[in-house]
Amino acid sequence: MSGPPAVEVEIAAALDGERVDRVVAMLTGLSRAVAAALVDAGGVLLDGTVVPARSQRVATGQVLVVHDVPEPTIRLPEPDPSVPFGVVFEDEHLLVVDKPAGVVAHPGNGVGGGTLVHGLLARHPGLAGVGEPHRPGIVHRLDRGTSGLLVVALDEATRLDLIDLLATHDVHRRYRALVLGHPNSAGGLVDAPIGRSRRDPTRRAVTHDGKPARTRFRVVATHDGPEPLTQLDCDLETGRTHQIRVHLRSIGHPVVADTVYGGGRCTLGLDRPFLHARELAFTHPRTGEALSFESPLPEDLSAVLARLDPPG
């Protein structure tokens, strides 16, 4: 078998007794037929032993490893002018957009249409040749439920330069979050590696073997009602998937209405996490101009704050 495992996960209680080929299909997003073929080829292991038959049942606590998972075939995105997004800056090299909550950044993971990329292609057809075909121009992303600012490259040289700026932490990205509880300090740094959760590969978690991840936070305001809540500004020093949500949960202050990472017991009427990418600043890689942008809180988040007790 070539390369490292593509998927390694501990079988959760909800999957106890399921056929292994069905579990592989569920965890990888592959079709049942492809999952079965992987089992037949010896590419699936349970507790270090090759699974001999696709009909074998899994048990809670077993460690499932799937090797050589093929990349899913994704239909190349086509222009879709109906996708909503705001434009806060635009020149021949790059675009800074304000993404509304509910819009996925690019196709993948079962999402084939209606993404930000589809909308961007309607505005800039030449974007199709910039970077990876299924996510042209994208150098960083926001979760579906997160609103706010992100930068998009309109040519390949700018794309590579923006990637370098992100890698060297020379892009300022600040988020506003409303979290459960009151932190013990006025600010701090969460420096904890993030990797795929062993119990649910669709989620992320703080793991000893994850990728380095650093989030700085600062208390903006505290509220005592309807329960103890705190507004935080969070600055990303790295950009791991779900980073802010995972890090805030890890310190006991999950994001309000984040049903994936522990904030679902307090939604305040929201149908998405209270998280907004409010500031973005960097040096334009082509012109050298210092660029800085700020996005006001969307109406749904502002309405939540208006209903809270006055800040402490």
How far, in Å, CA of 240 to CA of 103, rounded? 19
Tell me the residue type at 129: G
Half-sphere exposure of 251 (CA within 13 A, CB side): 23
Exposed, middle or buried: residue 167 (CB in 10 Å: 0-12, 13-18, 19+)?
Answer: exposed
- Structure-block tokens of residue 98: 């304000």
Cα end-to-end span (Å), the chain: 58
Q: In terms of DSSP H, where are the helices of the chain? A: 20-28, 32-40, 116-123, 156-167, 243-250, 299-307
Helix axes 20-28, 32-40, angle to 10 degrees: 120
Return the active site residues: 143
Q: How many Cβ atoms are within 10 Å of 32's Cβ, its own excluded? A: 14
Tell me the residue type at 140: H
Q: How far is CA 291 from CA 90, 140, 280, in A?
A: 11, 17, 8
Tell me the residue type at 178: L
Residue 176, beta-bridge partner list: 233, 276
